[in-house]
Amino acid sequence: EESEQAPKEPWQVQKAALKKKFGGEAWNPRKRLSPDALEGIRALHNANPEGASTSVLAEQFQVSPEVIRRILKSKWRPSEKEAEERRQRWDKRGEKIWSGMVKKGIRPPKKWREMGIGKAEPGQKPKWKQRK
């Protein structure tokens, strides 16, 4: 005896596909995008929906189309206070990452050098300029 099921709505099909894809695990993307990048993605898509499709944006930002789909679908926007806190957290994260990279001998981008990341003591070369 076959139980007759009502045809599924498109969102139900999508939800089932995502559940199957992630195996019941929570969404956890490998790459984090800055708040500025998220706004950039939304702005590009709003300005030119055909030219800035999900696949094109995914390729440009080097993330999966699923990440772009979720960003474009999201309606949430931080308040001014939240946005400032997020910006500060993002800068702190970048500072930590680039400080670690300098210790490995990698030259930080100009923005981080101007903020003092990788700065050497007076009379010494920065770690990223020293030859190993």
pLDDT at 85 over 80: yes
**Which token pair is 90?**
């993002």
pLDDT at 97 over 70: yes
Instruction: Decide: pTM greater than 0.75.
Output: no
Cα separation of 60 and 31, whole Å? Answer: 13
| Predicted confidence (pLDDT) per residue in 44-56, tens digit | 999 999 999 999 9
What is the domain partition of the chain in residue ranges?
21-73, 87-129
| Predicted confidence (pLDDT) per residue in 7-19, tens digit | 889 888 888 887 8
